[in-house]
Amino acid sequence: MVDISNIRKSICIIGKLLFNRGLTDSSGGNISVRDNDKIYITPKSSGFDYQWSIEEDQIIVTDLCKMPILGDPEKVSRESATHYYIYQNFPEVNAIIHAHPVFFNAFNSAHMSLPAVNEGTRLILGDQPITNIEESIPCSVEQAEKIIINFKQRKKIDPNAALICGIPFHGSFAAGPNLNHVFVYTESADVCAKTIIYRKLMFEGVPEADFSIHKKFTQQEIESVEESKEVCQSGYKYKDAFGNIITYDKGRSVNSKQGNIDPDIVNKITKEILENIKKQ
């Protein structure tokens, strides 16, 4: 679990998770987090030298222009130019992941955009295809500038778009409000690429295979995912935690003998459940 109160620890956890899930490799990748005016960033060769088993005290802290606060600025990730350029151009961004996801790389190494196909990608990343920058020298300012242009174009098409792009023959850059978001952006893109590759391998030339999207989600439908939902129909009868017969009625449970359930009963049940959990 990512501990958002401990930024350095969180970066170490996400780095190892990226490596273990095959979203980056020993040849590279880097992670950073912005905390107000401070940037926390991984050191050089986190993969090559440590296979992403890095420690909290290896995370370097600088200001927004890479002036040192904690740690050796000469050990900052080689991709630091892109990280700092993104933070300087997108004040809403608080976390960045550069990774080497294998399946997504298959698309950017063919200079192909990655279409949003599976449900998770469309909900998380939106309907926009993930596009690629032109080939650039890795770790260069030129690469950083091209990623900024790519991200601004995504925002121009959709102000709420997730920021992620491909780098041909190299990897991906994802930027967002926190580490959890950018990890999911990276993984969702790779899962989408994997889905497309597998379905082509398995069903190319199969007449019954239908690769079309039958339902395109509206923005309102996407936002409704976060809304609390009723989980059963009014009139549904069931036993509560005390064995009483209850009738569910639009967000409230009614006991035919006692009327609405007393909040004190709910509190009592909650307390009993928490005490049982502690005993386990």
- Output the 3-class SS for 170-209: CEEEEEECCHHHHHHHHHHHHHHHHHHHHHHHHHCCCCCC
pLDDT number for residue 1: 43
Residues 179 and 265 occupy one common structural domain:
no
Task: Check whether 52 has a pLDDT greater than 80.
Answer: yes
pLDDT number for residue 166: 97
Query: How far is Cα 102 from Cα 187, in angstroms, rounded to an integer?
Result: 11
Query: What pLDDT digit, counting tens, does each position of 210-228 carry?
Result: 878 777 777 677 777 778 7
Query: How far is Cα 197 from Cα 213, in angstroms, rounded to an integer?
Result: 16
Which of the four pLDDT bands, split at 50, 70 and 90, describes residue 183?
Answer: very high
Stronger pLDDT, 280 or 202, i.e. the higher one? 202
Q: For the residues 99-128, what does the mean pLDDT come to?
A: 91
Number of domains in the chain: 2
User: Structural domain of residue 274, as residue ranges?
Assistant: 237-279
Q: For the residues 177-196, what does the mean pLDDT come to?
A: 96
| b/e sequence 231-249, b meaning 16+ C-beta within 10 Å | eeeeeeeeeeeeeeebebe
Residue 145: give its domain's CATH number: 3.40.225.10
Task: Check whether 20 has a pLDDT greater than 80.
Answer: yes
**Lowest pLDDT segment from 30-34, 58-62, 115-119, 149-153:** 115-119
Q: How many CB atoms lie under 10 A from the CB of residue 218?
A: 9
Residue 176 belongs to a domain? yes
Residue 213 belongs to a domain? no
Residue 140 belongs to a domain? yes
pLDDT mean across residues, the chain: 87
Q: What is the residue whose two structure tokens read 């005016």?
A: 37
Q: For the residues 15-21, what does the mean pLDDT come to?
A: 96
Q: Are 122 and 195 in contact (CB under 8 A)?
A: no
Residues 256 and 167 occupy one common structural domain:
no
Residues 102 and 155 occupy one common structural domain:
yes
Residue 126 belongs to a domain? yes
**Lowest pLDDT segment from 11-25, 41-55, 245-259:** 245-259
| pTM for this model (two decimals) | 0.82
Query: What pLDDT digit, counting tens, does each position of 105-117 carry?
Result: 999 999 999 998 8
pLDDT number for residue 187: 96
Nearest by Cα to 31 from 44, 48, 50, 49: 44
Q: Which residue, 203, 226, 255, sits at the end of a domain?
A: 203
Residues 195 and 98 occupy one common structural domain:
yes
Residues 71 and 150 occupy one common structural domain:
yes
Residue 210 belongs to a domain? no
Residues 179 and 271 occupy one common structural domain:
no
Q: For the residues 50-59, what does the mean pLDDT come to?
A: 93
Residues 165 and 272 occupy one common structural domain:
no
